Amino acid sequence: MKYIDEYRNSETASYLVGEIRKNANTLSAQKMSINIMEVCGSHTMAISRYGIRELLPQNINLISGPGCPVCVTDAGYIDTAIALARQGAIIATFGDMINVPGSDRMTLAKSRSEGCIIEVCYSPLSAIDLAEANLDKEVVFLAIGFETTIAPIISMIDSVSEKNIKNISLLTAFKLVPPALETLTSDPELKIDAFLCPAHVSAIIGAKAYETFVKKHNIPCVIASFEPVEILLGINSILKQIINGSIKVENDYERVVTYEGNTKAQELFNKYLEDDDASWRGIGVIDASGLKLKKEFSQFDASEKFKIKIKAGAPDKGCRCGDVLKGKIRPFECPLYSKACNPLNPIGPCMVSSEGTCSAYYKYSRT
Ligand code: SF4
């Protein structure tokens, strides 16, 4: 396939749905019901948009996972960003973060109405322009995201060093996908039989990054793109692996993802970053599931520069984003869903983000 409409072709999709149904029947005959977690928020969005969940047989369940970077960012991180803004720092951020609630439903957008300076950046490099244009102020870039966004953010440091800019730093809350798979798999309340692995993250870390996990847990990990035909292909690959008992890492997105991944990005990670025990909203601290700046780059680390520590926040008590992110409930099982909580008045991050599960269900699902 070469053009985008081929990845959305209804005849190919129908054929694959037929194959999935045949394989699901084989599993059903063995009284098997399969839970597949789509880890990535972009998969959740595409699955909802194309109605893929509704096309699947009853014994094949798609569970949405914690792969939306905004959604898993702890409320305490937002509180810290707001505290820095109130101290006079310019906060530079990707747009999705603006309405994510911290403690007491406070957001960066609300702090902006108090007079704080919050600037939306479409690229980390525009934060550098901001720093150069405001030499009398400190610029703090909200450095959140999974492996995909870490590389472009970290590459800022090369430019900042080269230009000898002193008034910019990063407030880091980087997250890594493979350690999260470990935590989700070991949760006794969840029964995950397979993972549909993220496309863009896998382009950075490569198919090899899942090998240790698959060997240890004997759970299929299939990498798929965000196009409907390839998502269906990925689901069918998972079912075939389970039926044949040939559990492995399978790359159904070979046109972009390689076995080794993006080695240039990995070199950047190794140069600037080291492991960190990251706090995930609703999940808690996962050992070595994040990355932070190495000590020798502490001049770019906002936590060091401003001597602040990100403390645990207090998200809204009624919001069940934690359970949604772990795949324990579907959004409509949250009592606030589509009533008190909706895209115009989001109470939790899963309703804010364009990749959030609650947002995807609200936008596309009629359940
Ligand atoms: Fe949180 Fe709203 Fe989702 Fe409920 S519907 S879990 S309140 S984001």
Question: How far does residue 146's CA lie from ligand 1's centre (Å)?
Answer: 22
CA 195 to ligand 1 centroid distance, Å: 24
Could you give the dihedral angle defined by the CA atoms of residues 45, 49, 54 and 57, in that order, rounded to the nearest 10 degrees? -60
Could you read off the pLDDT of 22-63 as tens digits, one per residue? 999 999 999 999 999 999 999 999 999 999 999 999 999 999
Output the CA torsion sign for 76, 79, 83, 88: positive
Strands 168-175 and 284-293: antiparallel
The mean pLDDT value for 111-120 works out to 97
Residue 242, phi then psi, degrees to nearest 5: -65, -40
Rg (the chain; Cα; Å): 21
Q: Rounded to an integer, what distance in angstroms lies between the CA atom of residue 359 and that of residue 349?
A: 9
CA distances to 148, 150, 226, 234, 255 from 198, in Å: 10, 15, 9, 11, 14
* Confidence check: pLDDT of 110 > 80: yes
The CB of 348 under 6 Å from ligand 1? The reply is yes
Q: Which of 113-122, 185-194, 356-365 has the highest average model confidence (pLDDT)?
A: 113-122
Query: For residue 134, is pLDDT > 70?
Result: yes
Least confident of 32-41, 47-56, 156-165, 358-367: 358-367
Distance 72 CA to ligand 1 centre (A): 13
Count of alpha carbons within 13 angstroms of residue 104, beta-carbon side: 5
Whether the predicted pLDDT of 367 surpasses 60: no
Domains and CATH numbers, the chain: 5-66+187-251 (3.40.50.11750), 75-177+261-305 (3.40.50.11740), 329-364 (no CATH)
Q: How many residues are there in the chain? A: 367
Taking CA atoms only, the protein residue closest to ligand 1 atom 8 is 348
What torsion do the CA atoms of 326, 344, 42, 9 make, to the nearest 10 degrees? 130
- Contact status, residue 324 vs residue 334, Cβ threshold 8 Å: yes
320 lines ligand 1 (CB under 6 A): yes
pLDDT for the residue numbered 190: 86
Whether the CB-CB separation of 235 and 60 falls below 8 Å is answered with yes
In this predicted structure, which of 19-23, 61-65, 140-144, 279-283 has the lowest mean pLDDT?
A: 279-283
User: By mean pLDDT, which of 24-28, 106-110, 266-270, 352-356 is the weakest?
Assistant: 352-356
pLDDT at position 187, please? 87
Atom of ligand 1 at shortest range from CA of 321? 6
Report the alpha-carbon distance of residue 70 to residue 312 in Å, rounded. 16
pLDDT, tens only, 177-228 = 999 999 999 888 889 999 999 999 999 999 999 999 999 999 999 999 999 9
Name the residue of 350, 354, 359, 363 whose CB sits within 8 Å of the most ligand 1 atoms, as the mutation to test its pocket. 350
Which residue's CA is minimally distant from atom 3 of ligand 1? 358
Give the pLDDT score at 366.
Answer: 58
The whole-number pLDDT of residue 316 equals: 86
- 359 CA from centroid of ligand 1 (Å): 9
In eight-state DSSP terms, residue 310 is: P
CA distance 189 to 137: 48
